Amino acid sequence: MTTTAEVPDGLVVDFDIYDQSLASPVDTVQDRVAELAKKGPVVYSNAHGGHWIVTRYKEIHEVLRDPETFSSYPNNLVTTTAGFGKFIPIELDPPEHTGYRLALQPLFSPNRMKALEDDIRTVVNDLLDGFASKGQAEFIAAFAHELPTRVFLALMDWPLADAPMFTHATDTILTGIPGASEEESNQARGVAAFQMLGYFQEVINDRRANPRDDVTSQIIHTEVQLEDGKRLLTDEELNRMFFLLLIAGLHTVQGSLAWSIIHLSHNPEQRRELIDDEGLIPSAVEEILRIEAAVVPGRRATRATELGGVPIAEGDQLILLLCSANRDAEEFEDPNDLQIERTPNRHLSFGAGAHRCLGSHLARIELRVALEEIHKRIPDYELDENDPPIMHASQVRGCARLPITFTPES
């Protein structure tokens, strides 16, 4: 493991992606990340036992595409799994990873995505119905937090009525209890994890005994080619997969929805273009994904290597600042400008290589449909100057609170 004394001069930085002072005001994370990128493609932080921070597009792309050298376990500097063990399949490396990923393909097939779009539009409009006539809303609680939870349930063919339990449990696991001690938060995480595992296990038991014509039954009853042979997934494997599917799509989509509102509020000309021509929304979604990548994935070096001209020791931890890669001037022209018709747009917000986000198509549909309906129904939204957004910093960056005002829908 590399120690600070072994790090080349000038590459040690005071930076902790979990430091909440990075989260406010809104642009603090991006400002600090830009400072790191100026120091070099790879820098070193003493936080969390010491780890490398990769800042540039070229080097991040290299790491993402080399799972033999850079393992995806552990993915987090700080463990939030609440005893679940490795996330499947994101914390498994090829070839072990491959069979599990294939097991999830039915969830994200093109036909499945096409069938879900109408369901997503219904959920979006149901949520908008709850506040569009009021002229103001706290966008996260009223919309951005609820949408991905309900979409997850629709994806799995589970009852939408169970959304409140999932919303509460995942909040607790991801952020603990606001204002409580770490011990209290960890205890609450354990309770929430136990509750979710209980739900998952009930679903598994039911579908094993009573198979249905749904994707959950298909995953449970389909044999998968794994390293130990072709077999059905175990209850534990299914539980860990379901947990990842829920967590992975929640705060990522929530953050992207919030950044959509924030950036388009600050760029009224681009917003007017979307209102006038919703055909621009897909490229606008890509640009918002680029300019504010939510995820900061972690990797571990499996052997001594070199990255960006810096020696990396076996066992060293790294984090990949996708939000920095996506603003790398060597890859993107005017990288800090929101250009809703930007092309090409080879952002890394969904990763690359073996672990490229399996749910990327679903996320794109959620964001596109949400922006289509928002710009039809409450197109003149503004941020509340007296109640600014509250962001949060972690390896899944995002927004905890976003008050908005708009002309009430009649």
- pLDDT greater than 70 at residue 25: no
What is the SS3 assignment for 185?
helix
Token look-up 């929805």 returns 257
Strand partners of residue 71: 300
Type of residue numbered 327? R
Task: Report the domain count for the chain.
Answer: 1
Which 8-state DSSP code applies to residue 231? E
410 within domain boundaries: no
- pLDDT greater than 60 at residue 80: no
What confidence tens digit (pLDDT) does each residue in 179-234 have? 888 788 888 888 998 899 999 999 999 999 999 999 899 999 999 999 889 999 99
156 within domain boundaries: yes
Which 8-state DSSP code applies to residue 204? H
Can you read off the two tokens belonging to residue 234? 């175990």
Decide: residue 345, CB within 10 A, 0-12 exposed, 13-18 middle, 19+ buried. Answer: middle
Q: Contact 403/136 with Cβ under 8 angstroms?
A: yes
The pLDDT value recorded for residue 327 is 97
Rg (CA), the chain: 21
* Mean pLDDT, rounded, of the chain: 93
Q: 147 or 185, which is more confident?
A: 147
Q: Which region among 163-172, 277-286, 293-302 has the lowest average model confidence (pLDDT)?
A: 163-172
Which residue range(s) make up the domain with 16?
4-405
Question: Residue 252 belongs to a domain with what CATH number?
Answer: 1.10.630.10
- Give the whole-number percent of the chain exceeding pLDDT 70: 98
Order of all β-strands in the sheet with 12-13: 12-13, 42-45, 51-54, 317-320, 298-301, 70-71
* Entry field: residues in the chain: 410
- pLDDT greater than 60 at residue 301: yes
45 within domain boundaries: yes
Q: How confident is the model at residue 9 (pLDDT cuts 50, 70, 90)?
A: confident
